[in-house]
Amino acid sequence: MPNPFPGMNPYLESPDFWPEVHHLLIGILQESLVPQLVPKYRVAIEKRIYEIKGEQSLLVGIPDVSIQRTPTPRNSSTSNLAVATRTTAPLKIRLAMSEEVREGYLEVIDIATKEVVTVIEVLSPANKRPGKGREMYEEKRDKIFGSRTNFVEIDLLRGWEPLPVLDNDIAAHYRILVSRGNQRPFADLYLFNLPDAIPCFPLPLGAGDVEPIVDLQALLNTLYDRAAYDFTLDYTAQLVPALSESDAAWADSLLRETSRVPSES
């Protein structure tokens, strides 16, 4: 069965599915653009690789022991170490392990000059949540804004604070930023919410080139069918992040109408 939502499917934002969705979306974007851009351009899948640690500092475990301390002051010959009088089971703790993050993105490259004409980013949680991932992504973003390279940023995640832009105080679930290198500091920002279809947008290229229209909604729906998400998504599960009360009621009604969840008796 097809994607039951008219726009973004919020169940695809789940941490269990989004890494795969992100990977598939990058691939299907490349697949759709290549026939429209050859022979002048190639569309390359590039990767960022970096390491992040958990938000907490490294924790070191000690056995769960009863400590016997001397009640009187120690002199210089007295040991500074506490004495363990009994030993029980160790504490279970969580270490701040390093995690390698691999993020794919697209570059549209002029075959003749080898110049990167356009960068296309599909945001991941690491790009949006506070921490090293967001800091590194914002640094790259700022470098592109200081260049003549076109930039497209697709944000299909409701969680965390959106990436900064000026002149916008409108809240929205999702957004697509299209920034042409020859028009900065001005750019086009497409805002849309859960009940809305994902808007089409033109892909900026070199001067004088015909800009292909990216139908992200059609690509997402194709991805949904190819990956058979209708069979793997649990539409009775709690959404992460949660919806507002009104959006949750709308989504519940839609899922009942499309027989993804049982109708109320």
The answer for 148, left when phi > 0, alpha when psi is -120 to 50, beta otherwise, is: alpha
- The CATH fold assigned to 10-50+98-236 is tt1808, chain A (3.90.1570)
Residue 123 burial (10 A CB sphere; 0-12, 13-18, 19+): buried
Q: Which residue is listed with tokens 């109408």?
A: 257
What pLDDT, on the 0 to 100 scale, is given for residue 156? 98
Percent pLDDT > 90 in the chain is: 72
What pLDDT, on the 0 to 100 scale, is given for residue 147? 96
Nearest C-alpha neighbor of 3 from the set 234, 225, 239: 225
Domain boundaries, the chain: 10-50+98-236
For the stretch 150-186, pLDDT in tens is 999 999 999 999 999 988 778 899 999 999 999 999 9
Looking at per-residue pLDDT, the higher value among 47 and 252 belongs to 252
> Cα 77 to the chain's mean position, in Å?
59
- Residue 181: what are its φ and ψ, rounded to 5°? -60, -30
pTM over 0.85: no
99: helix, strand or coil: strand
| Per-residue CA distances from 59 to 55, 92, 132 (Å) | 11, 11, 19
Q: Decide if pLDDT at 253 tops 60.
A: yes
Q: Decide if pLDDT at 221 tops 70.
A: yes
> Cα 195 to the chain's mean position, in Å?
20
The pairs formed by 30-38 with CB atoms below 8 angstroms and a separation of 24 or more are 30/106, 32/214, 32/219, 33/106, 33/108, 33/203, 33/212, 33/214, 36/212, 37/108, 37/205, 37/212
Tokens of 150: 């076109």
For the stretch 181-215, pLDDT in tens is 999 999 999 999 999 999 999 999 999 999 999 99
Query: Is the omega angle on the peptide bond into residue 39 within 30 degrees of 0, that is, cis?
Result: yes
